[in-house]
Chain A
Amino acid sequence: MRPFKFSNAGDPATAITLVSANPGAKFLGGGTNLVDLMKEDVMHPSELVDITRLKHADIEKTATGVSIGGTATNSFTANHELIRKNYPLLSMAILAGASAQIRNMATNGGNLNQRTRCTYFYDVNLPCNKREPGSGCGALKGVNRNHAIFGWSEKCVAVYPSDMAVALAALNAVVHVEGRNNAKRTIQFADYHRLPGDTPEKDNNLKQGELITSIDLPTNDFAERSYYLKIRERSSYAFALVSVAAALSLDGNQIKQVRIALGGVAHKPWRASVAEKWLMGKEATESNFRAAAEAELKNARPLEHNKFKVVMAKKAITRALQGAMQGGVYGLEG
């Protein structure tokens, strides 16, 4: 870890000003990703501004839904009555990630901005365009079983690791950010993270110095029928091979609305819009779920070692939708 200047921001404006003024500066949330990457020498900010004491840690009802604070912790969010009752999908997704200790530290803003777990990215002696633009992508022709099957480019085949964000994608969340001089803007969740394209070094569309102040969750009628399914190599405390956030609302047995987002398959939470479209207005049956999943995965482009993800994702979509139908009760992943 290289030397850096540390400060403790008293208020959001100060924090934003400090980080905007120094291209080498970073906000420090729980530190569970940033400190890890700094110890690995993957990231070397010259300045850290601790934002965990700022007043953006609340969870409250708004006119259009619920707003969750950017510096609220993952565990506070997952356990909040408003979230558990109205957005159980989000609670399940957060609780599927990391460990109790990490969720106690991790902030919602930090979670959205966590970086890929691609091991070539982590090993500073190996090439990686995300870490060092132009050095090449180690994973493209390397060991890529954990990598993307959708939306990758020759420049980068990494996947984005967050579970929470997969649920947020399915819930059409809106990210509120604040920049220098009180410049506030909102970003639709689908536009928040990026595909790698030619600039894999950019994970998302946040600008230097912009602070995530809150995330809005629009009102929905999915609370009764949603499910977060996560497949991993051990039963807990591991990142997803494939995960699915699924939410349904029905008219009789007819699908009124459906949301499906996948984790572990792309450089951002992957909205399965083909499958969603396929299902709209159809009967909520297993065979329809399966057909929709087939349709979605037709467009998958697996790499040398991750063809299994295509099969796995199909089955996981079907299973998650079934889980949602059963009222989002845990016990489906084995």
Chain B
Amino acid sequence: MSETGKPISRIDGHLKVTGKAMYSAEFNQPNMAYAFPVRATIAKGRITSLDDTAIKKEPGVISVVSYKNALKLKPLDMPAQAKAGAAFLGENLPPLQDNTVHYPGQFIAVVVAESYEQARAAAYKLKVHYAAEKAATDLKTELPNSKKPTKLMGEEAQVNGGKTATPLATSAHRVDNTYSTPVEHHHPMEPHATVAVWEGTDKLTLYDATQGVGLTGAIAAYFLGLPQENVRVIAPFVGGGFGSKGLWLHTLLVAMAAKAAGRPVKLALTRQMMQTNVGHRAATIQRVALGTDTAGTLKAIRHHTDTYNNLTEFFEPSGKQSLVLYKAPVREVTYNVAKLNRGTPTFMRAPGETPGTFALECAMDEMAYQLKMDPVAFRIANHTTQDPMKGHDFSSEFLVDCYRIGAEKFGWSARSMEPRQKRNGNYLVGYGMATATYPGGRSAASVKVSMTAKGDVTVMTASIDIGTGTYTVLAQTAADALGVPVNRIQVKIGDSSLPAAPLAGGSQTTASIHPAAMEACALLRKELATLAIADSSSKLHGRKPDEIGYADGKLVLIGDDKKTDSYADIMSRARRVEVEACATTLPVSGAGLTVPSALCTPREIPAEQNSDSKHYAFHSFGAQFAEVWVDEDLGTIRVERFTSVQDVGRIMNEKTARSQIIGGVIFGIGAALMEATEYDKRWGSPVVRTLADYHVPVNLDVPPIDVHFIGKADPHISPIGARGIGEIGITGVAAAIANAVFNATGKRVRDLPLTPDKLV
């Protein structure tokens, strides 16, 4: 493997730095019109009248689509949706089908006009009347009416309810505190956008900002009642997603608008809409209790979460990591979930672990202080090498190395246990750390590879590059698997007409598509070998397939590197302009996030290397270390430096991998210090509406971030050995910072974000 792992620059970098990379909203079409949605101004109730006669006369207006005249969509039907691969929605609310309002800001109509300016102006003028009902707008108020869900993504939601009461009560040391995390928004820099183009009445192309072209296509096909192959979704570049792109039904709204207008239509959501209509991370109130014996050995972990949802069953699973970390004999993880009239919560970068590690890892710090133990030593003392719930070994796990390496690189030994010991001018200086963790998943994937007689290779799969480096690492994998240089490889992704791949979520892309790419390349080599073996003028004529290896664009007889035949020669003698191969790899644990669709040649991979979740637990781990400077007078916190050590399996490209981790850490800095959306209880609408109020980190907030990888391939997840890397970087960050703030000031802030008002 000479290319895999190399820190080569992104092969799509040139397009991105020259402005030529095209994102969904940029696929303008001839005769295209512009759409602008109208949004509900109440939190709950019914529309009693919606009078579009006046705005239909506004200049440039082509059509107004509302529940009164909208195309009838297929109704919700979970089993049917599941069969069509369309079960997984941001909210279970096909747009404009009736006059009910479930949350403020819900799309209730869409105006189509000649220009963007006209559509926006007309949309603001639509007169709508409502019959409002009493809405649920506040988590604390609604908690008494909350439910205890039984299932969480197919698993038991309530684990060991009540079982930690005795062990906690009898523990020598106990911490038991409540932590809260606010509503957070994804805010990828590229707003959600769709250009819908109908061809006739039953063929649709969507240029859509999505994390999964296959998934978006399946959803559109299902609800519009079209055959899946009649819907094509294209997204060569996607400007970030973080969980917010692909599952939302404004895409249907655009298709409906385009049908009504009889023209291609573009809709780009505004930032204000992104605060409501495309999901968020729900607020949580988490109570975490830990008990240890006098020596600091954990006896019980209890993690209870109060949160809410709205139009799906999804809720923020912030107890997840408390079922994986540390060697406690009993653990109890429970949830209460209320229902609010608020845009529907969804997956956001490391759903569960982001708020969950904040609570658990702060509690671990609090316990370490109570025990007067070093927080790193305390964690090492309670380390587990097995999944504590299932009893399986972790497939590959180097967490203790992460702690040790992190402590050394960071200079942890310079920390004093006692808070408020280190000053620098107006600042109190503190060190803090936390554990990072995220599951390593893998789904089915298909990849097609073709090679021309000139030696140009194309790798094709319906995957997406949301900034993760998919283009680049796929080229690296194919280069190695075929023995050709990276610069001869083209990568085609972001198109649902290509072989199916999972959506870019759950940190699964690399683990899923690379085994398939390798297998497709192997099939392609096999095809070339068959040609060579059959060809009497080949030096490999008559050899057995397993005697033939490859290198530098040639097939080579193993053990005799004089006996070679180049791909180009084989093909030209066989009069082939192109050879092609396609492979599907299916992990033992099932198809996962991949949309069912026609498969290529299924390739068997030995179960031992194939993500068999019955035998192994797949998790990535890491250790996060922060130094903060706190100005107590002004309440401001500066993260001065950060060290992150990650055990994520094989690193496919060190450059892009490091970027993923620093990106995650920065997301975590945002969650720790500034990100929060507040709502007005009276109307239920967000009073944090735009990027001027929803603060995400800017350049000056971000210190140097020192990233280290363990880099050891995971032998069981796949033949490639890479687990995902997109989400783990954010986990533990807020706890490391909050723990450092405690070390600096002696103040324990258990409510995120740590804004200046909480520290003055």
Contact = CB atoms under 8 A, between A and B. Distances in A.
A316 B680 contact: no
Contacts of A58: none
Contact of B629 (A41, A234, A318, A334): A334
B756 A231 contact: yes
A98 to B, nearest CB: 10
B530 interface: no
B687 A235 contact: no
A117 interface: yes
A334 B426 contact: yes
Contacts of B641: none
A252 interface: no
A235 B638 contact: yes
Contact of B634 (A120, A138, A312): A312
Contacts of A3: 59, 121
Nearest to A306: B757
B274 to A, nearest CB: 15
Which size class do B's interface residues fall under?
A: 35 or more
Nearest to B58: A3
A231 B759 CA distance: 13
B755 to A, nearest CB: 5
A333 interface: yes
Interface string B695-710: 1011111000000000
A126 B680 contact: yes
Interface in B100-144: 104, 117, 120-121, 124
A119 B757 contact: no
B752 to A, nearest CB: 13
Contacts, number: 104
A331 B634 CA distance: 13
A52 to B, nearest CB: 22
Given A1-B117, A117-B692, A125 B685 contact: yes
B683 interface: yes
A233 B760 contact: no
Interface in B653-685: 673-674, 678-680, 682-683, 685
Contact of A231 (B104, B427, B636, B638): B636
What is the interface of chain B mostly: helix, strand, loop, or mixed? loop
B631 interface: yes
Interface string A307-334: 0110110011011000000000001111
A119 to B, nearest CB: 5
B37 to A, nearest CB: 14
Interface string B626-657: 00011101111110000000000000000000
Interface in A32-82: 39, 41
Contact of B678 (A143, A235, A241): A143
B758 to A, nearest CB: 8
B50 interface: no
Q: Which 6 A-B residue pairs are closest in the complex by CB-CB distance?
A: A334-B631, A308-B757, A334-B636, A315-B633, A236-B700, A235-B700
Given A126-B685, A141-B682, A334-B629, 9 more contacts: A1-B120, A41-B124, A125-B683, A234-B698, A235-B638, A235-B700, A311-B760, A316-B633, A319-B426
Interface of B: 41, 59, 104, 117, 120-121, 124, 425-427, 629-631, 633-638, 673-674, 678-680, 682-683, 685, 687-690, 692-693, 695, 697-701, 755-757, 760
27 contacts: A1-B120, A117-B692, A119-B693, A122-B689, A123-B685, A124-B124, A138-B680, A142-B680, A145-B757, A232-B756, A233-B755, A234-B695, A234-B697, A235-B636, A235-B638, A235-B698, A236-B700, A236-B701, A237-B698, A308-B757, A312-B635, A312-B757, A315-B633, A318-B633, A333-B636, A334-B427, A334-B634
Interface of A: 1-3, 39, 41, 117, 119-120, 122-126, 138, 141-143, 145, 231-239, 241, 308-309, 311-312, 315-316, 318-319, 331-334
